[in-house]
Amino acid sequence: MKMDYHVHLEEGPYTLNWLERTSKTFASFETPSDLKKGSKEFMIWQVKQLQDRMAYGCFSSFWLDLYLEKAKQLGLKEVGIVDHLYRFKETRSYFEKNMILDHSHPIGKVQSDWLDQVMTEKMDDFVDAIVREKEKWKLQGIELKLGIEADYFKGCEAELVELLGEYPWDFVIGSVHFIDGWGFDNPQTAYAFQKFDLKDLYNQFYATVESAIRSELFDFVAHLDNLKVFNYQVEDVAFNQKWHEAIADALVETKTATEVNAGLYYRYPVKEMCPGPSFLKTLAERGVEFTLSSDSHYPDDLGNYTAENSEKLKDLGIKRLVSFNQRMKKYHYI
């Protein structure tokens, strides 16, 4: 069955890059037949689309309908839409206590500015928007699922449970994007990798991922090796294998699923799936359960490489994929 279980509606920071990328989205869908790309009339139409996008916001039917259109084009049967926990104003204290935000620190001001730029929404608005759209998608033959991607910080499990609240989540994704308060996947702070011993850094990262899994707070844990985002990787095969096996065992023992995530492959310098080939092989051999993910942040990236990754799993002997409904697993043969 065709699915994509990690799809964002995220917006911001509002930059020229954001405008250009959003314009690309609109241009990738069907445009008025009487307008030629590059013409003044086409630009007027495109500016109007951008104005509407800004006016209505990312939780509007205006924006969500593009995801629906793309899902129909691809023949997807289930789509899980999420947003990052750090997008929501209610979570500010959770991130303030776990991120380096002190302006006297080399990365503090960058991260403080970033948090202000992306933490613009309310969780209620997001939840209401997805729940409201579910019936429309169902009438088009697609199950729309409500999810959340929650950053995990060791020692803050009780607070995270409280933040997730009583919302009707179909699934909750756990992820690790920070080490000692440093957001390692932010291009503006990527230089910090050069200050670390990579083995020490990966030890800390994988230990945090394992803790996230063993917390049993999550239906699946995302992009298990996303620390490689800027292609800083440990070449020691034995070191990597030890951690790959530990992560696999934690997933199996806690009955927690993971994903094959394409986001790093088409959006970041590493140009590799998460998990990488040897890691994926170990996970498959140990009986880990998988779902599929484009990790798209724009509707035209929905479904990216999910078909190819489904075939990879099949080649590794995986016979079924997992999806979710009201925090319960469902299984589908590949």
Please tell me the predicted confidence (pLDDT) of residue 11.
80
Question: Do 164 and 151 meet the contact criterion of CB atoms below 8 Å apart?
Answer: no
Distance (Å, whole) CA 123 – CA 81? 13
**Does 10 have pLDDT greater than 90?**
no
Residue type, 321: L
Question: Do 242 and 281 meet the contact criterion of CB atoms below 8 Å apart?
Answer: no
Q: Lowest mean pLDDT of 32-41, 42-51, 140-149, name the range.
A: 32-41
Distance (Å, whole) CA 123 – CA 70? 25
Please tell me the predicted confidence (pLDDT) of residue 33.
86
Is residue 212 very low, low, confident or very high in pLDDT (cuts 50, 70, 90)?
A: very high
For a pLDDT cut of 90, what percent of the chain falls above it? 96
Distance (Å, whole) CA 271 – CA 292? 17
Distance (Å, whole) CA 153 – CA 6? 20
The CA-based angle 260-264-267, given to 5 degrees, is 135
Distance (Å, whole) CA 223 – CA 57? 27
Is residue 12 very low, low, confident or very high in pLDDT (cuts 50, 70, 90)?
A: confident
Distance (Å, whole) CA 263 – CA 283? 19
Please tell me the predicted confidence (pLDDT) of residue 123.
97
CA distances in angstroms from 189 to 93, 107, 120, 172, listed in the order given: 22, 7, 22, 27
Is residue 214 very low, low, confident or very high in pLDDT (cuts 50, 70, 90)?
A: very high
CA distances in angstroms from 259 to 66, 113, 164, 266, listed in the order given: 24, 31, 21, 16
Average pLDDT over residues 143-154: 98
What is the DSSP pairing of strand 171-175 with strand 143-151?
parallel
- Segment 46-105, tens digit of pLDDT: 999 999 999 999 999 999 999 999 999 999 999 999 999 999 999 999 999 999 999 999
Q: Within 10 A of 165 (CB to CB), how many other CB atoms are there?
A: 11
CA distances in angstroms from 257 to 216, 244, 276, listed in the order given: 11, 15, 16
Write down the pTM of the prediction: 0.97
Residue 240 contacts by C-beta under 8 Å, 6 or more apart in sequence?
234, 278, 279
Please tell me the predicted confidence (pLDDT) of residue 38.
87
- Segment 221-278, tens digit of pLDDT: 999 999 999 999 999 999 999 999 999 999 999 999 999 999 999 999 999 999 999 9
What is the DSSP pairing of strand 178-179 with strand 182-183?
antiparallel
Question: Do 223 and 175 meet the contact criterion of CB atoms below 8 Å apart?
Answer: yes
Q: Where are the alpha helices (DSSP H) in the chain?
A: 16-28, 40-56, 61-74, 92-96, 108-118, 123-139, 157-164, 198-214, 237-254, 263-267, 277-285, 306-315
Is residue 37 very low, low, confident or very high in pLDDT (cuts 50, 70, 90)?
A: confident
